[in-house]
């Protein structure tokens, strides 16, 4: 069916717009030997042939209408407000920026849409009724507003069948693909679901193994996370040390680091997923949802359970906003090792690090007292307190602890796991009963999701505590970290090394302390994860076994920590009364 409508007169000059769509980017390949990847060349050639046969048309070169790798089945190319170029053309037509009588050239109607017939026909008629002539080049069909021309009217009957076939082809392909993956998931115990594997693994003689170069990088990333490093800073550290980023990225960034740290494949687990399509603003959006329980030992393990638990505990605290930077600009200095831990015993607000310069003594001061809303005016000498606590940390043994503390944590963990499982059952029952997409399901499912996230955070926190307690609270790690910091100070090491060492110790403190209460009389009470209680004051710590106050060197002499005469007199007074 041609362009002439019941007349032999030459058609009027008009502007033609070329719409080209490819469902995948690989089809844009122009290599003639790869016919299945020849979509772009083929559609361009058909358009040029049509233009040559219709010299009254002038091709517009200003408006690019190429949707490459965009689905017409999901309506991504035509949804209003989206990024599809067909939607851009429709908007230009609606706004009158494209003249009536203009042509839209497409290879076939299925290049424009593979949506259901009512949606697809509405889109086609919308363009035609706005005065656009739509030409399907491959089957030589022209769709235009010509109510008195029976040939043009008959074309729309053909369009219904064409659009129906296009939609059914895509729907059938979607169903077959879904069935194929369902069958693969059924046989997952005897056959791998997919050849795609995490970037830190590689194939050796038909078997998956941890990559000899990438495996240590993964372990380093998790250790840095467990030491309190943020993901962006980990990425900078890797880039500065020229650690190669695997995958498609040229360098590391917070997102690529998070893909490693949050992936339970590090423990060898594999969680099967399936794609479900939900409609958002007129577009079918694919969403990956878990299917069944995780499969253990599917991949080779890359990190230990202990390292995973410690790193996840830190990551969860960061996600919940409990571990931001405190005591100095992140990445330059960590002046306060007790940030987010030291708390006023009166108003329960944070104790802030304060340093007024070379002639002053750095102190911890109640943040509310400074604002005039708390009565705790005691200035805790920071350096002496830090030294005393670090010396005590070296000797701290959490394995004794309060009686039954490990058992209490384990029981709490079992309770949290049971609570999470019960929430899972409730959520699945709602989905089976009325479906996840029902408006009646959205509110209760959202509540269950929030509760499950809280449960999972609690499970991670308890797992980290139990891991620490079972290994003596990381006593060897604490001793090594503190000794390393002392060595760096003695050798006047670079700021970057000191920063990393102090960050590690700060995280050890956060993992070891439950609370650190600071009171108006100068006393500091520290409660550790084993249920233990420990007292400090002005750079001294209370040795319960010997019933004496044990000083640090700075606490005894005021050197090199610039203790004032008033502070030394204050210490002598309360020590004499102790």
pTM over 0.75: no
Q: CB burial class (10 A; 0-12, 13-18, 19+) of residue 41?
A: middle
Give the C-alpha separation, 482 to 468, whole Å: 17
pLDDT per residue, tens digit, the chain (578 aa), is 445 444 456 788 999 999 998 877 665 554 444 444 567 888 888 999 999 999 999 999 888 888 888 877 777 788 776 778 888 898 999 999 999 999 999 988 888 888 888 888 888 999 999 999 999 998 889 999 888 788 788 788 887 888 788 777 776 776 666 666 565 555 555 556 556 788 898 888 878 889 999 999 999 999 999 888 888 889 988 998 899 988 777 889 888 898 899 888 899 888 776 666 555 655 556 666 666 667 788 888 999 888 888 888 787 766 554 444 433 344 467 889 998 899 999 999 999 999 877 777 889 999 999 778 999 999 999 988 998 999 888 888 776 555 566 777 778 888 888 888 888 888 878 777 776 666 677 788 888 888 888 888 888 888 877 776 666 556 777 888 888 888 888 888 888 888 888 988 998 898 889 899 999 999 999 998 888 889 999 889 888 888 888 887 655 555 545 667 787 888 888 887 76
| Phi, psi angles (nearest 5°) of residue 270 | -130, 125
Tell me, what's the pLDDT at 2? 47
- What is the DSSP secondary structure assignment for residue 126, as one 8-state letter? H
In 3-state terms, what secondary structure has residue 259? helix
Q: What is Dmax (Cα atoms) for the chain?
A: 117
Q: Which of 449, 529, 501, 448 is nearest to 228 (CA)?
A: 501
Give the C-alpha separation, 349 to 328, whole Å: 18
CB contact at 8 A, 257 and 234: yes
CATH code for the domain defined by 212-319: 3.90.1750
Q: What share of the chain is helix, strand, coil (3-state, %, to 5)?
A: 45, 15, 40
Tell me, what's the pLDDT at 421? 81
For 49-109, give the secondary structure using H, E and C: HHHHHCCCEEECCCCCCEEECCCCCCCCCCCCCCCCHHHHHHHHHHCCCCCCCCEEEECCH
Q: Are strands 103-106 and 524-528 parallel, antiparallel or unpaired?
A: unpaired
* Fold held by 14-173: Rossmann fold (3.40.50)
Q: Which of 261, 263, 271 is nearest to 298 (CA)?
A: 271
The residues near 577 (Cβ < 8 Å, ≥ 6 apart) are none
Q: Which of 235, 242, 239 is nearest to 258 (CA)?
A: 235
Token pair for 317: 């605290």
Tell me, what's the pLDDT at 213? 93
Give the C-alpha separation, 211 to 495, whole Å: 33
The residues near 491 (Cβ < 8 Å, ≥ 6 apart) are none
What does the chain come to in residues? Answer: 578
Give the C-alpha separation, 187 to 577, whole Å: 75
| Phi, psi angles (nearest 5°) of residue 109 | -60, -30
CB contact at 8 A, 301 and 272: no
Give the C-alpha separation, 155 to 352, whole Å: 77
Tell me, what's the pLDDT at 285? 60
Q: CB burial class (10 A; 0-12, 13-18, 19+) of residue 33?
A: exposed
CB contact at 8 A, 124 and 108: no
Tell me, what's the pLDDT at 9? 65
CB contact at 8 A, 364 and 385: yes
């Amino acid at each position: 069916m041609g362009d002439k409508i019941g007349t032999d007169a030459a058609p009027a000059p008009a502007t033609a717009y070329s719409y080209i769509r490819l469902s995948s980017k690989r089809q844009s390949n122009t290599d003639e030997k790869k016919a299945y990847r020849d979509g772009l060349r083929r559609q361009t050639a058909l358009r040029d042939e049509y233009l040559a046969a219709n010299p009254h048309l002038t091709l517009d070169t200003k408006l690019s209408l190429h949707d490459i790798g965009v689905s017409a089945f999901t309506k991504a190319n035509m949804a209003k407000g989206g990024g599809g170029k067909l939607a851009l053309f429709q908007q230009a037509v609606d706004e009158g920026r494209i003249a009536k009588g203009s042509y839209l050239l497409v290879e076939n109607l299925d290049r424009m849409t593979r949506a259901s017939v009512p949606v697809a026909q509405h889109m086609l008629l919308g363009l035609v009724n706005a005065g656009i002539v739509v030409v399907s080049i491959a089957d030589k069909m022209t769709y235009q507003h010509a109510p008195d021309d029976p040939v043009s009217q008959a074309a729309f009957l053909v369009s219904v069948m064409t659009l129906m076939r296009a939609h059914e082809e895509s729907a059938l392909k979607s169903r077959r693909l879904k069935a194929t993956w369902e069958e693969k998931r059924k046989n997952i115990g005897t056959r791998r679901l997919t050849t795609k594997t995490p970037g830190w693994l590689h194939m050796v003689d038909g078997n998956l193994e941890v990559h000899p170069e990438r495996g240590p990088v993964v372990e380093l990333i998790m250790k840095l996370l467990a030491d309190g490093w943020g993901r962006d800073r980990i990425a900078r550290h890797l880039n500065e040390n020229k650690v190669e980023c695997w995958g498609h990225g040229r360098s590391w960034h917070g997102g690529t680091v998070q893909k490693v740290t949050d992936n339970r494949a590090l423990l060898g687990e594999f969680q099967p997923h399936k794609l479900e399509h939900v409609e958002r603003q007129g577009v079918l959006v694919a969403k990956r949802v878990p299917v069944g329980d995780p499969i253990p030992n599917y991949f080779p393990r890359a990190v230990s359970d202990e390292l995973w638990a410690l790193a996840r505990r830190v990551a969860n605290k960061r996600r919940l906003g409990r571990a931001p930077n405190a005591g100095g600009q992140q990445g330059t200095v960590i002046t306060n090792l007790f940030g987010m831990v030291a708390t006023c015993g009166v108003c329960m607000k944070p104790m802030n690090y304060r340093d007024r310069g070379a002639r002053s003594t750095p102190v911890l001061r109640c943040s509310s007292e400074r604002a005039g809303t708390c009565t705790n005016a005691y200035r805790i000498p920071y350096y002496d307190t830090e030294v005393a606590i670090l010396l005590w940390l070296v000797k701290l043994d959490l394995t004794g602890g309060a009686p039954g503390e490990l058992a209490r944590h384990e029981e709490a963990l079992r309770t949290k796991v049971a609570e999470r499982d019960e929430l899972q059952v409730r959520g699945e029952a709602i989905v089976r009963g009325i479906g996840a997409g029902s408006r009646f399901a959205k509110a209760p499912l959202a509540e269950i999701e929030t509760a499950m996230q809280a449960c999972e955070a609690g499970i991670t926190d308890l797992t980290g505590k139990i891991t620490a307690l079972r290994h003596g609270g990381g006593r060897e790690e604490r001793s090594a970290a503190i000794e390393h910091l002392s060595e760096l100070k003695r050798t006047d090491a670079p700021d970057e090394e000191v920063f990393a060492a102090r960050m590690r110790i700060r995280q050890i403190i956060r993992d070891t302390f439950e609370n650190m209460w600071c009171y108006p009389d100068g006393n500091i009470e520290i409660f550790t994860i084993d249920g233990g209680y420990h007292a400090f004051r002005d750079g001294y710590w209370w040795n319960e076994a010997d019933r004496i106050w044990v000083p640090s060197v700075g606490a005894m002499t005021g050197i090199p920590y610039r203790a004032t005469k008033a502070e030394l007199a204050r210490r002598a007074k309360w020590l004499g009364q102790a």
